[in-house]
Each structure stands twice: as C-alpha cells, then as structure tokens.
Structure 1
Amino acid sequence: MSTESQRPDPLFNQSLEKGLEVLRAFNAVHRTLTLAELAELTGMTKSSAQRTVHTLERLGYVDKHPQTRRFRLTPKVMEIGYNYLAADALIPVASPYLSQLANASGETANLTEPVGLDMVYVAQLMTAKHVPVLTPVGMRIPMYCTSSGRAYLSTLPDEQVRAMLGASALVRRTPATLTDAEAIFERVVACRSVGYACNEEELFLGDMGVGAPIVNNRGVAVGAVHVSPPASRWTMAEAQKKLGPLVVECAWAISRSIGH
C-alpha cells in the first residue's frame, strides 16, 4: 500500500459515516435493535452508538418503539432513496420500454443499476401474474449469480470481470448457485455473443432470470434490464428462446434513447 493511500483523509467525516452505518444496520433480519445490538453490529462503542442514534432520532430517521423501547427506522428514511429515484434520468427513459417488455413477455420487467458488486432495483413494471419472489425497488442482488449482474459484467474488460468476481463472496444461495469463479466467468463471456445472460434458480428457488445490459452512447454500461420467469411457468430453454430476444430488444431501445 502506498504512503499516499495510508494518509488520513482530512475531509472524511467520521460522524456521518457512523450515522450511515447505524441506518444500514436495520434490515429484514434486524427490524428493531437495542442500543447494545446497534453498537455490536456497527463496531462502535456503546457511547458512540448512543450519540449517533440520538442524533438520528432527533432528526426523525429513527424512533423508539413505545412498548419494547427498541429502535427502528421511520418512513422518513425513504426520502433519501426517493430523491435518487426522482433524479435518476434513466428511469423515465426506460419506463415505456419496460412497460412494452412486461406486456410482450407477460412477466414483470425490471431495471437495475450497479452498486459495487451488486445490482439495485430502481424500477419495476409488474404484471397481474403471480410472482413467487418479491423483489421490490431498492433491493440489492449480487452480480455473480443474477442475470442482470452477469449482463452488466459482460460489458467490462475480462481483467475487471475477474477482479470483481474475485472480490465477491461467492456464496451458494441455492443448490443451483454457481460458486466457481471460472464457471461464472464463462457465463459472462457467453452473454457477449447472444446479448443476454441467464440465471436458473441461482438466487431464489423457483425464480429464473434473463437479462441484458444497457449502455450509454459511449458504450459504458449504466444498468441492465431483466425479467424473472418463474420455473412454474417456464423452462430455461423456453425463456431463452422467447424472452431472450425481447429483453435484448428492450435493453437496446433504452440504450439508444439515453444520452449520457
């Protein structure tokens, strides 16, 4: 590590970092937390966690349950995420094409964008058909085992793809999850020739994926579009044959329409 990278950043605000760590500590597993639990999850001292959560409580992002006295997030937290969605120029451009994809495929159409080693749902056009797995806007999914993630990776140089797979925790989410980096790399490379990537029950049982990358006018990937055909209605071969071309067409139309 260089001397430059070891130097403390004089502009880095540790108090803000702690506040964000507290907000991120709450999730589907930890819906409510005690002060001690917050300190343990964030690696803070109890006094530091107390000051941070008190500040967030005063600002309205956290409150305390009147009976259990455990801390929980408030709906005000959603303002931050909504502000991103409202400012994201890709969403209004993609929405009509997602609607067309949902109508043509009969399946829910999704728009995701990269964040680190994950893809995040930023828009979704649902159909009336049963969806076995709930994947709401804001949810993060790992790149290595999803169609949208592999589609995004397919636009990157081989060296960068291998580095990102090497940095990923290749966890077996289901019995079908590929965890061998070389095997995943081969799936990413295959996407370049056919235009779309697949995931067959690798993230959730009963849920598949067919996704294609969205690139801007400089050829840089900015996201991916995918549908999640359930195994109860589709075989992977049927999904590739019928949904693959629809997803590629949708991603191409969005790519052609964006100007950034």
Structure 2
Amino acid sequence: MFNQSVEKGLAILAAFGSRNRFMSLGQIAETVGITRSSAQRIVFTLETLGYVAKDPYTRRYELANKVMEIGCNYVAANTLIDSANPFLSAMNSNCDETVSLTEPCGTNMVYVASFTSRKPIVAHMAIGSRMPMYCTSAGRAYLAGLPDNEIHALLRASEFKSLTPLTMTDFDKIFAHIIEGRTRGFSINFEEYMLGHMNVGSPVFNKDGRAIAAVHVMAPSSRWTRDEVIAKLGPMVRECAGAITNAVRTH
C-alpha cells in the first residue's frame, strides 16, 4: 500500500528551506536521493499543482505559497491550539517573554503556536520550526510526561550533538534532568540549544494522562538569571500547562 511517488513528492517539498531556498532540478535530485528523471516528473507535477514555482531566467525552483495551505489546515483543525491560545496569551502578557506551544514529531518538538515578546528577542522560531527533544526544555518536559521506557527509546533514537559549549550529551545526565523536571513540574535548559537563550517548559497531558505537547517560555540571559528563571518562570509555565491540560480534558 505504500506509495513511493507520494513519499518522493513530500521529500522534495521538505528539502526546501532556509539553506535551500532555490534549487535546480539536479540539486533537487541529489538532495532527495532520487534520479534526475524521477525528480523531473515529480517536480513537473508539483509545479502544475502550484506547490513549487520555477524562475524563468535561472530555471531554479522554489516553494510556492500554496504549500502553506497544508500547514494552515493543520493549525485550523487542531483543537489543542484553540484550547491553549488563551492561556499562552495570558502568560505572555504576565511575563512579557515569548511563550510557545510545541508538539512531538519523532525525536523533535514542532512549534504550533507562539506569542512573541514585545522586547528584543534572542531568536524567532517560526510556526513549523523544529528543535531536538534532548537539549530543550520543551523536549525534556514532553519526555518527562512519558513512561521511562519510552523516554529511553526516544533518547536512544536521538543524535546527541554539542550545539553549544553547554549542551549536555551524556545519556544518563539527560535522563536524570528529565526525571528531575518530572518531579518539579517543569524542565529547564540553560543555553544548551542556543547561547544567550534560556528556557523553561512544562508538559500538557490528554484525558488519559499522557503527555501530548509542551509549553515553554524563552528567557534571554541578558534579562534573566538562572535563579529568576527557576523561581519565577518555572511556576508560571507549570501553571499555564496545567490550565491547558484542564481545558483539553474538558473539551
């Protein structure tokens, strides 16, 4: 039942991004790992349907804005986002820092909702952006809401990289931090994912008591100390995630 043409078409769309904004047919084939003739047929179909566009001068391809329909349809149909938005907005107003909701996708967390700070921010993560579970507060918070055997499986499947000099890559230490976050009700990350960028996250649970998402708040080190993040933002994000959990369970 598995359709390889659909798989290749989706792989081509996913190959475009900030590093590959424009690609020739040969570059597309090489990036996705398919033959040039296969890429030609699939790209022609995607262009005809309006999902990619070709520059008539450079003859290179780029994503067309029609691809946004798929993502917008997901956001519009996601009842969790509707339930979470009022609480995310309230926390954003209270702390005036960027507050976001992420959902799991493999060993990553995906941004599905975000309320941005009015103050200068270290980095802006667009809806649909991904970040690894093992070194982020949102990822660790989500993992803390799972059984230990599932935590182990997801960590084993992750590729630990030192994204900053502070990134934790030791399996046992990461697992210990996840369990500590479970006990405390929120997980922390002090510049492990991005320098100058601290954050704290807490899991959102469904009716069955299983983690399905995580709320996290970004705290630039230029405005916050570690102690302040734990003492002030930790309880706030835990309360926000708890309110979303209650809304989900009564929806």
Q: Tell me if both proteins adopt one fold, taking TM over 0.5 as the criterion.
A: yes
TM-score, normalised with respect to structure 2: 0.98
CA distance in 1, matches of 2:26, 2:171: 38
Alignment match, 2:129: 139
TM-score, normalised with respect to structure 1: 0.94
Q: Which runs of 5+ in 1 are unaligned?
A: 1-10
Alignment match, 2:159: 169
CA distance in 1, matches of 2:20, 2:161: 21
Aligned residues: 250
> Which range moved further: 65-74 or 139-148?
65-74
Q: Which runs of 5+ in 2 are unaligned?
A: none
Name the SS for the 2:109 alignment partner: strand
The answer to whether 1:26 aligns with 2:23 is no
Q: Deviations over 1:208-234 (max 9, x none)?
A: 110000001210111000100001101
CA distance in 1, matches of 2:172, 2:17: 32
The answer to whether 1:102 aligns with 2:92 is yes
Q: Deviations over 1:105-144 (max 9, x none)?
A: 1211101011111110000112211111111111011101
The answer to whether 1:122 aligns with 2:125 is no
CA distance in 2, matches of 1:200, 1:25: 31
TM-aligned CA deviation for residue 159 of structure 1? 1.6
TM-aligned CA deviation for residue 67 of structure 1? 2.6
Identity of aligned residues (%): 51
CA distance in 2, matches of 1:239, 1:68: 49
Alignment match, 1:3: none
CA distance in 1, matches of 2:171, 2:58: 45
In structure 2, what residue type is equivalent to 1:38? I
Name the SS for the 1:258 alignment partner: helix
TM-aligned CA deviation for residue 66 of structure 1? 2.7
Given the alignment, which residue of 193, 198, 201 partners 2:183? 193
Given the alignment, which residue of 195, 198, 206 partners 1:208? 198
CA distance in 2, matches of 1:143, 1:230: 20
